[in-house]
Structure 1
């Protein structure tokens, strides 16, 4: 049985430049319900009411008191090839995700949960804007690339190797767990004036009736 990474969600009104991407993301989330793997037997649950605010899993006091860091210089466009997250021992090959014939976004193969995917019509990691990587939490009894994503904390490093031989280096800003029906579309996909990275997988309690997890775990990171 397959599980979902993310159900469809609504977001706040967004700039016209992002509306087409948001429409594609909605389609992506719908197709994930039947094609992505987020199996529940081996993954720790973190139950919470969907009526409450999104939970910030990891954010230190320095997040609000530290002086703003200088802006990183944006990189030119180059396709990502690998993502490395030393804190949680991740090294994952990245596959580009295009569109299916019905307009929904392709997904990484469930049989290869160690792979991550990048939506190739969005920013590449290192460019100005939010580059988004998605991966299974697990599949077919194997741990997925982002199985331990919720263990990341502010300051942890995420390195994305790129086809041009460069590496985009990011630091985690925060990690949230949010109900899938309250997915923060604007926060994840909205325009930014600096290079950003979003890492997304499943989380929360497993709903056996729906065949999916109730939450998404989202890690936000900034280029440094």
Structure 2
């Protein structure tokens, strides 16, 4: 091997001294006969927007299927509308943005003063009652057994919620104000004259019997979905003692009208 070759030392990579800031590596020298790679220069942006392409672009298959589906539904809806007098204008128009009309009146609070039930010939004054000593709803005193008692810790008749009016069925001397309550039927009217001069008109929904130990309290006292009325008296078999009659008779009624408001 020639001596000049033996004197050559292998290449060494020398790290820069500590603290030295190194710049980017220099570009590699170009090989003879081959120009270095250069990225093409960016094209200048057009000064005016390009013209739209002529001809029709194909529609995506999904959009075509969706459009056909809506057309089919619309045709079916038109057929149903013709058969049932259903108006498509109410479905697609602006009527849906308006609040629905109120189906029942709602009254401001006012104490009840008189109850009238034409179907069973009742016309009686109303007094306020609270809670009895045992926590149940109190009833009018026996000396006023021909008067009804409004539970004054609940809604007044015409407000949202169930207004509760109680009354005796009878006493030792004869029938009382709510003696004929079990004979009431759905659709009959109950009128409550209030202190503000208005008359709240209720329509009977149902007349039901419940064992006093199984009274559905939530259904009787807890429905605040609309203005309603509950008339309650005793009925069923006589047991005596502190229970008296075995059952409660409950008339469920809903407010349907209001006069002189």
**Superposition TM-score, scaled by structure 1 size:** 0.65
Unmatched runs of 5 consecutive residues or more in structure 1: 1-69
Q: Does 1:121 align with 2:121?
A: no
Q: Which has the larger radius of gyration?
A: 2
Which structure 2 residues correspond to residues 169-184 of structure 1 after superposition, within 5 A?
Answer: 169-184=201-216
Maintained 8 Å contact 2:166/2:231: yes
Q: Does 1:133 align with 2:172?
A: no
Distance across 1 between alignment mates of 2:202 and 2:218 = 20
Q: Which one of the candidate residues 206, 217, 220 is aligned to 2:249?
A: 217
Aligned partner of residue 123 in structure 1, secondary structure: coil
Maintained 8 Å contact 1:130/1:192: yes
- RMSD of the alignment, in Å? 1.9
Q: Quickly say closer, same or farther: Cα 1:147–1:76, change in 2 above 3 A.
A: same
Maintained 8 Å contact 1:112/1:139: no
Deviation at 1:139, TM superposition (A): 1.8
Q: What number of residue pairs does the alignment pair up? A: 155
Deviation at 1:103, TM superposition (A): 6.6
Distance across 2 between alignment mates of 1:107 and 1:182 = 19
**If each structure's strand is expressed as a fraction of its own residues, which one has the higher value?**
1
Q: Which one of the candidate residues 132, 140, 158 is aligned to 2:190?
A: 158
* Structure 1 partner of 2:179: 147
Maintained 8 Å contact 1:129/1:195: yes
Q: Quickly say closer, same or farther: Cα 1:150–1:99, change in 2 above 3 A.
A: closer
Which structure 2 residues correspond to residues 37-186 of structure 1 after superposition, within 5 A?
Answer: 71-99=103-131, 106-186=138-218
Distance across 1 between alignment mates of 2:139 and 2:208 = 22
Unmatched runs of 5 consecutive residues or more in structure 2: 1-101, 257-261
* Structure 1 partner of 2:11: none
Aligned partner of residue 234 in structure 2, secondary structure: strand
Distance across 2 between alignment mates of 1:218 and 1:151 = 11
Deviation at 1:211, TM superposition (A): 5.4
* Structure 2 partner of 1:52: none
Higher relative contact order (CA 8 A, sep 6+): 1
Deviation at 1:140, TM superposition (A): 3.5
Distance across 2 between alignment mates of 1:177 and 1:141 = 24
C-alpha distance after superposition, 1:40-99 (max 9, x if no partner): xxxxxxxxxxxxxxxxxxxxxxxxxxxxxx731210000000100000000111001135
Distance across 2 between alignment mates of 1:125 and 1:218 = 16
Distance across 2 between alignment mates of 1:144 and 1:207 = 19
Deviation at 1:100, TM superposition (A): 6.4
Q: Quickly say closer, same or farther: Cα 1:102–1:211, change in 2 above 3 A.
A: closer
* Structure 2 partner of 1:187: 219
